[in-house]
Structure 1
């Protein structure tokens, strides 16, 4: 099952990127690039959601709609 979460990405003074989410409690991921940070954040989110689902039988995240907008980072 796929769900949609919002991530907040910020660049740290050291040059790394940090991802957090108000949708998934405890999600914190850091990477050298935005792509790496997103990959790590997806893995962390998946593990946290699985753990939360094991503890609670109710779903806390919204399912993906038939259409949605997505911002994409493109390097030039």
Structure 2
């Protein structure tokens, strides 16, 4: 995990904002690796950004009795 992402994953931050910032990091890193290019990013579908080709799941989820317990993205961590 990049240093920038770990600074975001702290109590009080909003989950949705964390996901948005991690998506920016993922896009940047995939561009550096040459797995996506600028055209992919410029032409991406906002509902399925270019980085989702390699990182289709979210960055995290709430863990409870069931590993897919639902968490509110607009609530603080």
User: TM-score normalized by structure 2?
Assistant: 0.36
Q: Which has the higher helix share?
A: 2
Considering Cα pairs closer than 8 Å and 6+ residues apart, tell me whether 1 or 2 has the greater RCO.
2
Higher strand proportion (structure 1 or 2): 1
Query: TM-score, normalized by length of structure 1?
Result: 0.36
